[in-house]
Amino acid sequence: MNTKRDQIISTTCQLIETQGYHATGLNQILAESGAPKGSLYYYFPDGKDGLVEEAIARTSQLIVARLQEGLAAYESPAEAIPNFLRSLAHHVQASSFESGGPITAVALEAASTNERLNAACRDAYQAWQKVIEQKLLDSGYEPVRARRLGMLVIAIIEGATILSRSERNVGPLLDAALELEALL
């Protein structure tokens, strides 16, 4: 991290992923990032919403990069996508089931009442779907089918991640990987 601003965003990303949007307070973000109190409104004059919007955008960019890297490792989507889920399962388990689904809490807690955050979540999910869709298109899937499957894959990833975290067991992610392998 280069700047206090980066540290604040990074800390926000982590806290929202592990404890949710409403449970993450500005004072906790400042304390854990080591940033002085005045720096929050200096860098984020819109307050928590502006900060969370940027945290979602950063998280989305990281997930896009991870998806692209993971999918590029395999030629076939039937191999690439399930292996991405297996990798995600390892990540979720290694975090003691505290990580995974980095914008899910915002999407569930705030997006229905906050159009700004809803748009940020929607943009993130659409960006992830586009990565899956492009992999499918590159493998010869028809555009409409690739778009639908891209949405389905993201829905399965998000749902299986929620189940794995709540059950404290990677079984749902691994089962989803097997089913996606058969589907694709």
Encoded tokens for 62:
């990281």
Contact 83, 77 (CB under 8 A): no
Asked if 121 and 114 touch (Cβ cutoff 8 Å), the reply is: no
CATH number of 57-183: 3.90.190.20, 1.10.357.10, 1.10.10.410, 3.30.450.70?
1.10.357.10
Residue 184 C-alpha from the chain's centroid = 22
The encoded tokens of residue 129 equal 């779907």
Which residues of the chain fall below pLDDT 70?
Answer: 1-2
Mention every residue, 6+ apart, whose C-beta is less than 8 A from residue 41. Answer: 47
Residue 38: the pLDDT is 87
d(C-alpha 49, C-alpha 4), whole Å = 18
pLDDT of residue 110: 84
DSSP per position, 28-80: HHHHHHT--HHHHHHH-TTTHHHHHHHHHHHHHHHHHHHHHHHHHT-SSHHHH
pLDDT for position 111: 72
Whats the size of the chain, residue-wise? Answer: 184
Contact 117, 53 (CB under 8 A): yes
Q: Kindly provide the residue ranges of all beta strands, DSSP E only, lying in the chain, ordered along the sequence.
A: none
The predicted structure's pLDDT at residue 37: 85
CA angle 105, 164, 90 (to 5 degrees): 105
pLDDT at 178: 98
What pLDDT score does 23 carry? 92
The single-letter code of the amino acid at 86 is: R
pLDDT single digits (tens) 43-94:
999 999 999 999 999 999 999 999 999 999 999 999 999 999 999 999 999 9
Q: What is the pLDDT of residue 127?
A: 98
Asked if residue 39 lies in contact with residue 4, where contact means CB atoms within 8 angstroms, the answer is: yes
The predicted model scores a pTM of 0.93
Contacts of 30 (CB under 8 A, 6+ apart): 8, 36, 37, 39, 40
pLDDT confidence of residue 112: 82
Q: Give me the pLDDT at residue 123, please.
A: 97
